[in-house]
Structure 1
Amino acid sequence: MPKPVYVFSSGRLSRLANTIVFETDASPQGEQVKERKRHLPVEQVSELYLFGEVDLNKRFLEFMAQKGVLLHFFNRFGYYVGSFYPREHLLSGYLTLRQAEHYLDSRRRLVLAQKFVAGGLENIRRLLLKEVAKGREVEGVLDLLEELLPRVGEAQSVGELMALEGRAREAYYGAWTALLGEEWALERSRRPPRDPINSLLSFANSLLYTSILAQIYQTHLDPRIGYLHETNYRRHALNLDVAEVFKPPLVDRLIFRLIRLGQIKAGHFLREGQGVFLSESGRRLVTEEWEKLMQTTYRHPSLRRSVSYRTTLRLELYKLEKHLIGEQPYTPYRLR
């Protein structure tokens, strides 16, 4: 089964027959420079995550488009820059019309936006219940979530939903001090992230956004049409919607584990200007642990078989497709 490949070194990407070739320069030895090549059969690659300075040409991009391989670009600070999203090979005109109809109809759009917000807040609630069971005191945030969750279905607009979600997440992030300690106290700042925990959270969120985008490519959905996030000049919005449901069970749990096991350390962060960013070793660590998480399997309650979390993202999108064509109402994923 094709898998994502993460490229941290600088070099050149090219095509050789049906193979992706990555050439990078090794450390100079005397006056000579040894050139290293890595060959990747294209059938084994679903996405390329490019963190280093990489050269490529149009012929290579044509090859990626032909094979349906997505490229995700990150700058030297680990900021997600954008993706090369090949022409949608599975895009369905019928489903695109249904997506557009659900967006243009304010009532149907609100229903889906409510589902995404309710799914995200319910997964936060379930995650915090697990923390309470471990003896951590976050009852105040749980009480607020219990108060806000019923109001999601009463919201009259997407703006009201966003405000409600913002209030819940602010309280939730405020509880990270109790969950992780003073060193990892979280007050959200994004561009640039002002401390290690914001840097870690932003980077992990980017991995989630791109993972969902890659799964959307394997469905008939158009990633440009979202419901909670505005569909306008933004390149992609649907992956941001679906990410709201999966941030607590995937991103937040990953961060909790990295910190509690002592895997992430002060040396994994760099301060540059007014921002704090993950170093290359920090990005390598987080992507390795992220990939392990995405390949982790569990027994799916309705399918009655083992599925990975990457497959779970695809299944979530299939549920959304069924909602759009009127086959079955969408029910967000719930943290077990």
Structure 2
Amino acid sequence: MESYYLFSSGKLERKDNVIRLTRQDGKFKDLKIELTRDIYLFGEVSLNTKCLNYLAQKKIPLHVFNYYGNYSGSFYPRECNVSGELLINQVRTNLDENKRLQLAQKFVLGASQNILRNLKYYQRRKRNVSEQIKTITALMKDIDRTSAVDVLMGIEGEIHRNYYSAWEDIFEQKTDFISRVRRPPDNMINTLISFLNMMMYSSCLSEIYVSQLNPTISYLHSVSERRFSLCLDLSEIFKPLVVDRLIFSLVNKKIVSKDSFEQGSNGCYMKKATILKVTKAYDEYLRKTIMHRTLRRKVSYRHLIRLECYKLIKDLMGEQEYMPFKIWW
């Protein structure tokens, strides 16, 4: 199964048993619908209900990004893998303050462990990140002691603040990155974080779709904060592995630089060629494989997200306690 990233402007429509993107110059590309996992739209594309109905029939989510590379929304087909029992357990766990807190703590713990793994990697390469490692290690001891999700979110914020303060020592070129700025991002690093975080949210949504989980019911993030808030929970664990490591690689290998970005009224944003370059690198990163310790076979980074969904389902069904994914390599 493949993800399609469409950058050309034109018309997306059903043509017999394929989805066709017809560009403004008349050229077209047919998507192999039976091998399509999801579609990402970056160009100015028009489509009709016939196309959307066909995507729904084939169970293919569609993610839309605007001119600046900001996530606009997703077309989420009618769920086909449904389980009333799982849905009840998802809701019941969310309403049970103790059980919700326990799961939320696991998400923060998994994210923190993976953050430390990144920092220790660069510590071995003589980067000055020892102070951040010490502080984050101390903060992690408070995760299990929290009595409410709001308090836990405060600890999670402090961990990320210390983590980001180490990035300037990780980068091999000057980036002017001091702290996380979101709306709008003010420099190239914040722009990369915002864009790749949104790509990760979309990837998590696509993987949740093939499971029986409901993406609107979450545990760390409030269900009223975002529509698909469970994506935010799961993405916390995988952002250090995919998003952060990819940013370090893009910057240190000089694949992107300040010249790859523009400053405008909407803050700092990527040039069109940069969006294409970063998206290609993201897709290639998700295709990377590792030998899974439990399954004893190679699995892709993307498949690790799906496995995390299944682990969460087992916990919600009372079969096996959920343990967050931890980078071991």
TM-score normalised per structure 2: 0.97
The aligned residue for residue 29 of structure 1 is: none
The aligned residue for residue 138 of structure 1 is: 129
User: What per-residue deviation string (whole Å, max 9, x for no partner) do you get for residues 264-317 of structure 1?
Assistant: 122321211150001111111111111111111110011111000111110011
The aligned residue for residue 206 of structure 2 is: 214
Structure 1: distance between partners of 2:47 and 2:221: 32
Secondary structure of the residue aligned to 2:269 is strand
Aligned-pair distance for 1:9? 1.1
The aligned residue for residue 88 of structure 1 is: 79
> Structure 1 residues 42, 281: closer, same or farther in 2, change over 3 A?
same
Secondary structure of the residue aligned to 2:220 is coil
User: What per-residue deviation string (whole Å, max 9, x for no partner) do you get for residues 62-109 of structure 1?
Assistant: 001000011101111110011000011102111110100100000000
Aligned-pair distance for 1:168? 1.0
Given the alignment of the two structures, is residue 114 of structure 1 paired with residue 105 of structure 2, yes or no?
Answer: yes
Mapped contact 2:14–2:51 kept (Cα < 8 A): yes
Structure 1 spans left out of the alignment, 5+ residues: 27-34
Aligned-pair distance for 1:237? 0.6
Secondary structure of the residue aligned to 1:96 is helix
Aligned-pair distance for 1:159? 0.4
Aligned-pair distance for 1:184? 4.6
> Which one of 239, 254, 260 corresponds to residue 246 of structure 2?
254
Count of residue correspondences: 327
Given the alignment of the two structures, is residue 72 of structure 1 paired with residue 66 of structure 2, yes or no?
Answer: no
**Bigger mean CA deviation after superposition, 239-248 or 229-238:** 229-238
Structure 1: distance between partners of 2:125 and 2:323: 28
> Which one of 27, 30, 43 corresponds to residue 39 of structure 1?
30
2:289 aligned partner, one-letter code: T
Mapped contact 1:3–1:47 kept (Cα < 8 A): yes
Mapped contact 1:186–1:198 kept (Cα < 8 A): no
Structure 2: distance between partners of 1:66 and 1:303: 32
The aligned residue for residue 226 of structure 1 is: 218
- After superposition, residues 105-254 of structure 1 pair within 5 angstroms as 105-180=96-171, 181-232=173-224, 234-254=226-246
Structure 1: distance between partners of 2:221 and 2:177: 27
The aligned residue for residue 322 of structure 1 is: 314
Aligned-pair distance for 1:234? 2.8
Aligned-pair distance for 1:17? 1.4
The aligned residue for residue 31 of structure 1 is: none
Mapped contact 1:51–1:78 kept (Cα < 8 A): yes
Structure 1: distance between partners of 2:196 and 2:136: 24
TM-score normalised per structure 1: 0.95
Secondary structure of the residue aligned to 1:88 is coil
Mapped contact 2:175–2:188 kept (Cα < 8 A): no
User: What per-residue deviation string (whole Å, max 9, x for no partner) do you get for residues 218-265 of structure 1?
Assistant: 000000000000012631110100111111111100000011111012
Structure 2: distance between partners of 1:228 and 1:250: 20
Mapped contact 1:46–1:69 kept (Cα < 8 A): yes
1:82 aligned partner, one-letter code: G
Structure 2: distance between partners of 1:279 and 1:295: 25
> Structure 1 residues 233, 114: closer, same or farther in 2, change over 3 A?
closer
2:22 aligned partner, one-letter code: E
Superposed CA RMSD in Å reads 1.0
Mapped contact 1:186–1:197 kept (Cα < 8 A): no
Structure 2: distance between partners of 1:186 and 1:305: 40
Structure 2 spans left out of the alignment, 5+ residues: none
User: What per-residue deviation string (whole Å, max 9, x for no partner) do you get for residues 128-183 of structure 1?
Assistant: 11111111110100111111111100001000001001011111101111111442
Secondary structure of the residue aligned to 2:227 is coil
Structure 1: distance between partners of 2:159 and 2:116: 10
Structure 1: distance between partners of 2:170 and 2:102: 33
User: What per-residue deviation string (whole Å, max 9, x for no partner) do you get for residues 103-133 of structure 1?
Assistant: 0000000000000001101111111111111
